[in-house]
Amino acid sequence: AGRLVLGVRVTPLSDDHVLILLDDRSQLRRVEETRRDFVVNVSHELKTPVAGLSLLSEAIDDARDDPEAVHRFTKRMRTEADRINRLVMEIVEFSRLQVAETLDDPQRVDVRECVAEAIEHMRLMADERNIGIQAHDEGNRAEVFGDPDLITTAVRNLIENAVNYSGSGTRVDVAVKGSPDLVTVAVKDQGSGIPAGEIERVFERFYRVDAARSRRTGGTGLGLAIVKHICANHGGEVTAWSEEGHGSTFTIRLPAAHPEPSETTIDRPVD
Ligand code: ADP
């Protein structure tokens, strides 16, 4: 899809010959457009917390004689500063992933360990909201080639969303499955769900179903775009399934790393 953009260069070779070079710039133009949209989005995202900081500092000035109000406003300033910090960190992470189409130095990664680490990371936040995280593991080999930190980040982002968009007393199930070809991680919640018409769009940068809710939970709108890029960089994919009002399941599928040759057992006929 999209327009064809051609670059034309004409070079005279002699009195009756010219060399015409045509090159397809469509891809380049699309990259430029994406980059420009991204910059516009980023400045839009930064505007709100920066304006918030500015207003809060004025409010503190006005409330100098009221220590309780000053305390309240400084607390809110910290929240806004944290949001800016998080946004900047995620933008850096996202840009790095976009630039790197392949991984620098892929290693053999046990996805089970990444999942355990991601759950560990999210446990406190889930406890605070009275949401249980339940791990399910069939015990099969679940190894891929890639970057363990990135895989942990992807799983953590999915669990974080599951916790953020679910109510108190619900449960998040995280299941790891390994097969000879594929390793899957499914994160299932009992939360608000996503309307059918929007499910494809949630992987777009800065797309939110409910912007107010996302901002309240400190969301940047980049979490799923980061997951999508991490999966693509590993030769895999992430998909979403959801029923509005009944919860969502996000599934990461990555190509499995085959066992190292030394570990392969050869079946020999019994004498
Ligand atoms: P955010 O920082 O806003 O959470 P994401 O890219 O992680 O950004 O997600 C994009 C949007 O997709 C969210 O704002 C939310 O509307 C929706 N979403 C993501 N995960 C879930 C989920 N588990 N349940 C319901 N909605 C979700």
The residue that leads in pLDDT, 3 or 112, is 112
Which tokens belong to 239? Answer: 């998909």
Of the pLDDT bands very low, low, confident and very high (cuts 50, 70, 90), residue 129 is very high
- Alpha-helical (H) ranges within 140-218 are 148-164, 211-216
Q: By the 8 A CB rule, do 239 and 186 touch?
A: no
Q: How many CB atoms lie within 10 A of CB 196?
A: 10
Ligand 1 atom at shortest distance from the alpha carbon of 218: 2
Place of tokens 């996000």: 250
Q: What is the pLDDT of residue 260?
A: 72
Residue 271 pLDDT class (50, 70, 90 cuts): low
224 CA → ligand 1 middle, Å: 7
Question: How many angstroms does the Cα of residue 244 sit away from the middle of ligand 1?
Answer: 13
Q: How far does residue 194's CA lie from ligand 1's centre (Å)?
A: 8
Tell me if ipTM is over 0.90.
yes
- CA pair distance 116, 114, nearest whole angstrom: 5
Which amino acid, residue 122? Answer: M
Cα separation, 167 vs 129, in Å, equals 8
Pick the more confident residue, 144 or 39. 144
Q: Give residue-wise pLDDT tens across range 168-211.
A: 999 999 999 999 999 999 999 999 999 999 999 999 998 999 88
Instruction: Copy the structure tokens of residue 200.
Output: 């494809």
pTM: 0.82
pLDDT in tens, 93-109: 888 887 776 777 899 99
- Residue 19 in tokens: 């060399």
pLDDT band at residue 76, thresholds of 50, 70 and 90? very high
Which residue's CA is the closest to the ligand 1 atom numbered 3? 221
What pLDDT is stored for residue 263 in this prediction? Answer: 56
Please check the confidence at residue 253 and state whether its pLDDT lies above 90: yes
Q: Is 154 strand, coil or helix?
A: helix
Structure tokens at 123: 């446990």
Distance 213 CA to ligand 1 centre (A): 9
Tell me the C-alpha distance between 235 and 179, whole Å.
16
Q: Is the pLDDT of residue 267 over 70?
A: no
**Is the distance from CB of 97 to CB of 104 less than 8 angstroms?**
no
CB 144 within 8 A of CB 105: no
Confidence at residue 30, expressed as pLDDT on a 0 to 100 scale: 82
Q: Is 219 in the pocket of ligand 1 (CB under 6 A)?
A: yes
**Residue 225 pLDDT more than 80?**
yes
Q: Is 202's C-beta closer than 6 angstroms to any atom of ligand 1?
A: yes
Closest approach atom of ligand 1 to CA 189: 23
Average pLDDT in the 67-77 region?
Answer: 95
Asked whether 192 lines ligand 1 (CB < 6 A), one says: yes
